[in-house]
Structures are given as C-alpha cells and as structure tokens.
C-alpha cells in the first residue's frame, strides 16, 4: 500500500493562484474555472504520487534537487516533498523569469494552509 502524503499550500502559493484566477476571470470566468480545476487536480494527485513531476530544471542545473514542479501549461507549480508532507510553494506563468520569482519566494518564510 502506498503512503499518503498531506498536501499543504504556502500562503504565497494560494495568493499566486488567486491572482492568476482573478486576472483570467476578468476576460473569461469559464476559462478561469477551468484553469483552477486543472491546477487543483494536478496538485491533488500529489497525495498519492508526491514525486511526480520533474525537478525544477533551472535549479537542478545548479545542483539543487529539493524542489519539483508540475506543469499545467502555461503554469508551473513548484513544490517540495518531505517525509509525509508536500508543500506547494508557488504557481507562476512559465513565460516569466524564474530567477526573479524564486529570489523573492524561496527566501521568504511562509505559512501553509490546505486549499479549499
């Protein structure tokens, strides 16, 4: 039997997702709902498959393999896997510069919550 992991969202990741959905909803509420559903489904699968996805290529190139990501085009969902916990750290547009995003997000302490 596979071990089940708890999936928590850092407050900053929740805010990222809210900003994305709000922005898209301005033009298309239906598209915003679809994207929200796709991202939530992808992260829900982490309960049973916490190591799915890939190492973040930009970090892996620097020898950092603590972080993984799922890609729900064009969104990248970055997370960290612990002993029994997966923490979703950020959700961002893959067309953005990851170095700028990570500098601000990975060095700032965050709280974690379970998304509704």
Q: What does the pLDDT look like over 3-41, one tens digit per residue?
A: 899 999 999 899 999 999 999 999 999 999 999 999 999
Pairing state between β 67-72 and 75-81: antiparallel
- The reply to whether the predicted model has a pTM over 0.75 is yes
What is the CATH number assigned to the segment(s) 6-109? 3.30.2310.20
Give me the pLDDT at residue 51, please. 94
d(CA 41, CA 86): 15
CB neighbours (10 Å) of residue 22?
Answer: 10
Residue spans per domain, the chain: 6-109
């Amino acid at each position: 039997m596979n071990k089940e992991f708890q999936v928590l969202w850092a407050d900053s990741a929740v805010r990222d997702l809210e900003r994305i959905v709000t922005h898209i909803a301005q033009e298309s509420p239906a598209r915003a709902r679809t994207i929200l559903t796709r991202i939530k489904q992808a992260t829900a699968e982490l309960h049973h498959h916490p190591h799915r996805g890939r190492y973040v290529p930009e970090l892996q190139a620097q020898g950092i393999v603590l972080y993984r990501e799922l890609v729900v085009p064009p969104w990248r969902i970055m997370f960290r896997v612990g002993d029994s916990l997966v923490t979703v750290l950020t959700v961002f547009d893959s067309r953005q510069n990851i170095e700028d995003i990570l500098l601000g997000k990975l060095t700032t302490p965050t709280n974690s919550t379970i998304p509704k």
